[in-house]
């Protein structure tokens, strides 16, 4: 009886073992699965079934359902590939760093140690959080490898974040260093999430397979429920190459005629694969089976064992493909460049016609009797690009409301100023007027007017080429404390006289009268000898010979604008007279035409000057540092010019003098100064002139002291006029 019980027990044990390991009829006793995971050598669940400890799969059955873990850890294995990619997918833990209202920190670090396995470069290292600094470090082949990391910042405004994007706002990611076989993840915060506790109290970091994670702004609040992320591991056998490993026939795993070492794998270690035409597990002897009649694919040829690469055919294909690609590339580049050049030529032709190029050529041809020197030259776009070094920013010498001015050097070594205007829509009549202005302005040859040399019409907006004036604008000198010292009274008077002469010429001596419409110190240039040059005719208007005024849209700079023009829209030559009067006041006072940081009654310089003149307080507004004033005593010439400025600034244009009258009066004052003070003849030695002027006794018959209530009919002429308020300035 006892013998029967013993035999029955032995039978049960044998039956159980057979059901677990297979049968005892010669089949493999190793487990081939654990739950849904297929297990094949070199992986196994017990000693003798796996190649090394790195290939151990622990099958946990304690919960009733078999769960495969990696080695002796609690890291879940989800996939193993032995035939193609030689990869294993695991569920790796997420590292975290969290804080609460008391500032208490809690969290986890994550690490993994491998030998024959490496972290696949098909993973990303990802960090989540709004106050996050994450880092991954590890080793490669037993030696420390450089780590990497990333920083993620954000505010609680989720509208600035993008779902699916790990660009550093709420989420960041970097590539995993190649070849790492162990790693450790650390995650930290800069401010302990103190400003984000309600929104994002934690930082998270993990390694995840590419394509297995998409960032969502919701992760900033509830990612704590995620404990693991899928991670890919690359594996190979040992750390020896194919050539070295196959020398040891006992340990070399690529055995049999149908299994070969993968020569395309670059290590470390080696991998096996079935020869072409065979399928199976190449790590088990004779497991690669031919399941069909081998039809070698293109690029292979048959040999005794199956298919092998046809190297000669491959070389032919590669060489032919490469030659075809090179030829196609050259053809595409040639075609692209040809089409681009043709398109550019067509565009240049379009702009040339659009900007009135044909009309300008006809005008130049029609006026062929004029000297070649006076003709407007039509430049090509290539000439001006070369002259400005392709409009290099270092060549910019000025910017304004109408565009940018570049310094250029033409092919004949002439230095010029090239004006690139802003984009505007032009009607046909405006184009005709522009061409007319170019022709006329190019013929103006006055020492106090900047010479227009020519233009370029091959761009969307025409480019204008002027002579280059080297010493900057009058504004640069008046309102720059260090440069204004050089502007002695005689130099200021000569600048005013030269400017008035230029405007007088434009109004009355040019072939067609021209109203400048924007006279101000920034549009008056100075050469090295302080000779004034009127420039920038972008707002100018030609006056037909049978008209004295034009109805136009108000254009100009506040502070210099004629109040009568501002009210009526009627542009006359007296509008330039008013603007010149403001420039004259700036020369006398050294102050800007419009300044909102001054007291309200002093903001508009012209109005302040007129009121000071009327109330006998002229000394208060004059630039006593540069006009050779001695404690309230004003030279006779300055009083005369102040009265001239007052007449130019009268509200009624009919009461203002013409520019011809202004120029003549200034020339007379300058001539009398030269006669009275013979040294005031040249500006070449300014320091000597300034020194001599300071020694001259001032004529006290014209003394006008502070607080004097003296008035005259000249001063009272402004008393009954309305002063227009000006809100802003240019």
pLDDT digits (tens, 9 = 90+) for 575-595: 999 999 999 999 999 999 998
Residue 505 DSSP label: I
Instruction: Identify the pLDDT of residue 309.
Output: 67
pLDDT band, residue 385 (cuts 50/70/90): very high
Give the mean pLDDT of 477-497. Answer: 90
Q: Determine the Cα–Cα distance for residues 487 and 673; give it in Å rounded to an integer.
A: 16
**Residue-wise pLDDT tens digits, 81-124:** 877 678 999 999 999 998 888 777 888 888 888 887 899 999 99
DSSP run (H or E) holding 468 = none
**Mean pLDDT (the chain, rounded):** 79
Span 262-283, pLDDT tens digits: 988 887 889 999 888 888 889 9
Q: What is the DSSP string of 191-252?
A: STTTT-TTT--EEEEEEEETTS----TTHHHHGGG--EEEEEEEE-BSS--HHHHTT-TTT-
What's the confidence (pLDDT) of residue 463?
Answer: 85
Q: What is the pLDDT of residue 653?
A: 93
pLDDT over 80 (residue 727): no
The distance in angstroms from the start CA to the end CA of the chain is 121
Mean pLDDT over 544-559 rounds to 64
Give pLDDT, residue 599. 87
245 has pLDDT over 50: yes
Which H or E element spans position 382? helix 381-387
Name the β-bridge partners of 136: 148, 185
Sort residue 628 into left (φ over 0), alpha (ψ -120 to 50) or beta. Answer: left
| 272-274/514-515 β-pairing | unpaired
* 419/350 Cα distance (integer angstroms): 21
List residues bridging with 517 in a β-sheet. Answer: none
Inform me whether the pLDDT recorded for 393 exceeds 80. yes
Mean pLDDT within 137-160 = 83
Cα–Cα distance between 491 and 499 in angstroms, integer? 12
Instruction: Give tens-digit pLDDT for 657-695.
Output: 999 999 999 999 988 887 766 555 444 334 433 332 333
pLDDT confidence of residue 270? 92
CB atoms within 10 A of CB 635: 20
Helical (H) or strand (E) element with 108: strand 105-108
- pLDDT tens figures, 188-237: 888 888 878 778 888 999 999 999 999 998 888 888 888 899 999 999 99
For CA atoms 392, 393, 395, 398, give the dihedral sign: positive
Q: What percent of the chain has pLDDT over 70?
A: 78
Q: State the DSSP H helix or E strand holding residue 380, giving kind and residue range, or none if neither.
A: none
Q: What is the pLDDT of residue 445?
A: 84
More reliable by pLDDT, 569 or 150? 150
Q: Taking 80 as the threshold, does the pLDDT of residue 178 lie above it?
A: yes
pLDDT of 168 over the 60 cut: yes
pLDDT-derived band at 364 (thresholds 50, 70, 90) equals: low
Residue 292: which pLDDT band, with cuts at 50, 70 and 90? low
- Residue 468 structure tokens: 């280059």
For residue 724, the 8-state DSSP code is P
Mean pLDDT of 618-640: 76
* Diameter of the chain measured on Cα atoms: 155
pLDDT of residue 542: 57
Residue 541: per-residue pLDDT: 58
The 10 Å Cβ neighbour count of residue 621 is: 20
Q: How far apart are CA 98 and CA 649, in angstroms?
A: 74
- SS3 at position 643: helix
| pLDDT attached to residue 673 | 80
Residues 6+ apart with CB under 8 A from 364: 375, 376, 378, 439
In this structure, what token pair is assigned to residue 439?
């022709």
Most confident option among 1-15, 18-32, 346-360: 346-360
Residue 518 annotated to the active site: yes
Give the separation between CA 413 and CA 387, rounded to whole angstroms.
9
Contact 594, 520 (CB under 8 A): no
Of the pLDDT bands very low, low, confident and very high (cuts 50, 70, 90), residue 179 is confident
Confidence of residue 436 (pLDDT cuts 50, 70, 90): low
Given 116, 518, 536, 562, the catalytic residue: 518
pLDDT value at 148 more than 50: yes
User: Across residues 638-642, what is the average pLDDT?
Assistant: 91
CB 406 within 8 A of CB 456: no
Q: Over 70: is that where the pLDDT of 441 sits?
A: yes
- 152 vs 536: which has the higher pLDDT: 152
pLDDT band of residue 716 (cuts 50, 70, 90) is very low
Percent of the chain with pLDDT over 90: 35
Task: Quote the pTM value.
Answer: 0.47
Residue 313: in which H helix or E strand, if any?
Answer: helix 311-354
Q: Is 385 labeled as ligand-binding? A: no
Judge contact between 96 and 127, C-beta under 8 A: no
| Reported confidence tier of residue 176, pLDDT bands at 50, 70, 90 | very high
pLDDT at 497 over 90: yes
| Residue pLDDT, tens place only, 55-89 | 999 999 888 889 999 988 889 999 998 776 789 99
pLDDT for the residue numbered 553: 62
Write down the pLDDT at residue 113. Answer: 86
């Amino acid at each position: 009886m006892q013998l029967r019980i013993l035999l029955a027990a032995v039978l049960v044990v044998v039956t159980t073992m057979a059901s677990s390991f297979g049968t005892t009829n010669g089949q493999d006793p190793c487990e081939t699965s654990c739950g849904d995971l297929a297990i094949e050598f070199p992986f196994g669940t017990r000693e003798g079934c796996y190649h090394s400890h790195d290939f151990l799969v622990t099958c946990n059955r304690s919960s009733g359902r078999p769960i495969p873990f990696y080695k002796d850890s609690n890291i879940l294995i989800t996939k193993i590939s032995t035939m193609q990619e030689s990869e294993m997918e695991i569920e790796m833990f997420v590292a975290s760093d969290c804080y609460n209202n008391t500032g208490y920190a809690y969290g986890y670090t994550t690490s993994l140690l491998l030998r024959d396995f490496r972290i696949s470069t098909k993973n990303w290292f990802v960090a989540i959080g709004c106050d996050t600094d994450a880092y991954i470090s590890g080793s490669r082949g037993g030696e420390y490898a450089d780590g990497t990391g990333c920083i993620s910042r954000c505010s609680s405004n989720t509208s600035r974040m993008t779902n699916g994007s790990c660009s550093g706002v709420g989420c960041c990611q970097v590539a995993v260093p190649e070849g790492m076989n162990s790693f450790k993840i650390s995650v930290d915060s800069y401010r302990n999430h103190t400003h984000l506790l309600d929104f994002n109290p934690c930082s998270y970091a993990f390694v995840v397979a590419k394509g297995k994670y998409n960032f969502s702004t919701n992760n900033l609040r509830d990612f704590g429920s995620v404990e693991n992320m899928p991670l890919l591991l690359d594996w190979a056998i040992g750390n020896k190459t194919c050539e070295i490993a196959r020398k040891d026939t006992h340990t070399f795993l690529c055995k049999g005629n149908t299994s070969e070492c993968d020569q395309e794998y670059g290590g470390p270690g080696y991998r096996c694969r079935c020869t072409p035409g065979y399928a199976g597990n190449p790590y088990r002897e004779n497991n690669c089976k031919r399941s069909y009649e081998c039809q070698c694919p293109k690029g292979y040829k048959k040999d005794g064992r199956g298919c092998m690469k046809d190297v000669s055919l491959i070389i032919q294909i590669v060489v032919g493909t490469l030659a075809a690609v090179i030829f196609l590339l050259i053809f595409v580049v040639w075609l692209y460049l040809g089409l681009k050049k043709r398109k550019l030529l067509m565009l240049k032709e379009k702009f040339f016609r659009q900007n009135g190029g044909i009309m300008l050529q006809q005008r130049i041809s029609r006026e062929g009797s004029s000297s070649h020197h006076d003709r407007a030259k039509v430049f090509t776009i290539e000439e001006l690009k070369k002259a400005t070094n392709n409009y290099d920013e270092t060549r910019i010498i000025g910017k304004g409301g109408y565009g940018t001015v570049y310094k250029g050097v033409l092919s004949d070594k002439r230095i010029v100023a090239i004006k690139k205007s802003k984009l505007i829509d032009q009607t046909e009549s405006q184009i005709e007027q522009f061409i007319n202005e170019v022709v006329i302005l190019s013929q103006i040859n006055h020492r106090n007017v900047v010479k227009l040399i020519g233009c370029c019409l091959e761009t969307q907006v025409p480019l204008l080429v002027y002579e280059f004036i080297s010493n900057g604008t009058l504004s640069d000198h008046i309102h720059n404390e260090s440069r204004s010292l050089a502007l002695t009274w005689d130099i200021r008077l000569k600048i005013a006289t030269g400017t008035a002469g230029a405007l007088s010429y434009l109004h009355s001596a040019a072939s067609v009268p021209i109203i400048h419409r924007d006279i101000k110190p920034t549009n008056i240039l100075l050469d090295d000898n302080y000779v004034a040059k009127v420039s920038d005719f972008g707002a100018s208007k030609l006056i037909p010979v049978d008209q004295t005024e034009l109805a136009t849209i108000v254009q100009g700079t506040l502070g210099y604008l004629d109040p009568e023009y501002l009210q009526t829209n009627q542009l006359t030559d007296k509008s330039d007279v008013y603007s010149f009067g403001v420039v004259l006041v700036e020369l006398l006072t050294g102050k800007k035409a419009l300044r909102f940081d001054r007291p309200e009654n002093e903001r508009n310089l012209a109005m302040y000057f007129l009121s000071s003149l009327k109330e006998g307080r002229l000394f208060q507004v004059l630039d006593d540092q540069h006009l050779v004033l001695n404690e309230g005593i004003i030279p006779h010439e300055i009083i005369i010019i102040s009265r001239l400025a007052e007449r130019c600034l009268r509200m009624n244009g009919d009461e203002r003098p013409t520019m011809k009258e202004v120029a003549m009066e200034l020339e007379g004052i300058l001539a009398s100064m030269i006669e009275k003070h013979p040294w005031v003849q040249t500006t070449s030695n300014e320091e000597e002139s300034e020194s001599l002027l300071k020694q001259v006794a001032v004529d006290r018959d014209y003394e006008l002291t502070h607080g004097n209530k003296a008035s005259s009919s000249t001063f009272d002429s402004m008393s009954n006029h309305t002063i227009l308020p000006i809100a802003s300035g240019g």
